[in-house]
Structure 1
């Protein structure tokens, strides 16, 4: 029972962070590995998806009630993210991801530095593309980041947010809302694959899901109340943590 209580605490915090800007896996995945060191990694990753997908989906619902989403662009982007995630999951069985693992901290560092340097980035919602171009760009982002999520994964939500801000001209609040929608699709795709292979502990995933939804509710409410500037600040903190985590995993583990 103690281990499930700890899972619930980690999942609630993960849901809180993930609802604001993504990066919940940075919290829940290490917690699961620490609590169940003898378990197969695939089972722990599948259990993580089994818990986190519900918090992400609930955050999407909360954002959609308060933030205007461009469904014409995002609906095909969801389909592209699903296809990309499945393709990435297949490719990881064929190709070694070690090179990407070592490159990731540097890519995240570039995102971090760019966001800090552009202090006005993502503070104002000003989509800059025509309707057709925005749809094409959203589909491309969905496919590319979806592929990355299936192939490797860390920082998927942060990449969605950054690209929606940088490429489409969204503010951080609208970008986070849109990212939740696509991230729900890629998480559901990954969960389906893990579940089909028997790599989900459903009793642990259920506890994580309930706690994740509770944390997600609080995180989304804070983001909606405080707006783009608040989301930008959390984004910078999460990307900074991701740089440390992925750098340690790539070069010191």
Structure 2
């Protein structure tokens, strides 16, 4: 019973953080591992719970007008295709060679965000053009593939990408990133389910608390914008980089 209570609290915290800036898996995955689950079962159960929280957060951002569906209708198919390819290819190729590259990129994003005073403060989106749509499609496909293939830092890359390519502020960037990330999560969740790598008895109560954490985090992100999002975004980007550094 105590194990479930602790996992629920960790799940709530993970979803709260993830709905604001991504990186919730840094909290929830170790929690499932500490509970004694096999690594594959831990990842599958976490994906089940996290997708529930991600869906809740995406709906909240969408209902608050922070998701641009005119843009996402072009990006979602490429994210889904990339994710399916990534999940398929990871079965045959080791992801180790990606670690060094991703580590450097996540560090750059975290440090740049820390020292850039103007990053994501204002919404300067001026419409969809052929150029920004092309870059957006490349971003969507690449990070869909990356999320299916490897995963860590996907949320950070998406948020940063939406800010730099489309000139969204932090709040709209994370709203669009959250929705796109939810799409890429679906294929991975299906794969874990097909391989019977989800422990639903443990996952269901944690999923409920992740939904609650996602609702609260999204509400605070929408209300406070860059004031709350940027510090947590920088912290989680650097935390992902440090975690990956220790795994090298």
Shorter-normalised TM-score: what interval? over 0.9
Residue 128 of structure 1, CA deviation: 5.0
Which residue does 1:81 correspond to in 2?
A: 79
Which residue does 1:29 correspond to in 2?
A: 29
Change (3 A) 1:68 1:15: closer
Change (3 A) 1:68 1:134: farther
How do 1:132-151 residues align onto structure 2 when only pairs under 5 Å count?
132-151=130-149
CA distance in 2, matches of 1:202, 1:41: 15
Change (3 A) 1:132 1:102: closer
Which residue does 1:52 correspond to in 2?
A: 50
Residue 23 of structure 1, CA deviation: 0.8
CA distance in 2, matches of 1:65, 1:74: 15
TM norm structure 2: 0.95
Give the 4+ runs in structure 1 shifted more than 6 A. none
Which residue does 2:208 correspond to in 1?
A: 210
Q: Does 1:153 align with 2:148?
A: no
5+ residue gaps, structure 2, are none
CA distance in 2, matches of 1:115, 1:166: 11
Query: What's the CA shift string for 1:74-101, capped at 9, x where partnerless?
Result: 1231221111111111121222211112
Query: What's the CA shift string for 1:87-128, capped at 9, x where partnerless?
Result: 111121222211112332221111112212321011001125
CA distance in 1, matches of 2:227, 2:123: 11
3-state SS in 2 of match to 1:94 = coil
Query: Cα RMSD over matched residues?
Result: 1.4
Residue 221 of structure 1, CA deviation: 0.8
Asked if 2 retains the 8 angstrom alpha-carbon contact of 1:52 and 1:208, the reply is no
3-state SS in 2 of match to 1:123 = coil
The aligned length equals 248
Moved more, 225-234 or 161-170: 225-234
CA distance in 2, matches of 1:87, 1:244: 28
5+ residue gaps, structure 1, are none
Residue 6 of structure 1, CA deviation: 1.3
Which residue does 1:170 correspond to in 2?
A: 168
3-state SS in 1 of match to 2:225 = helix
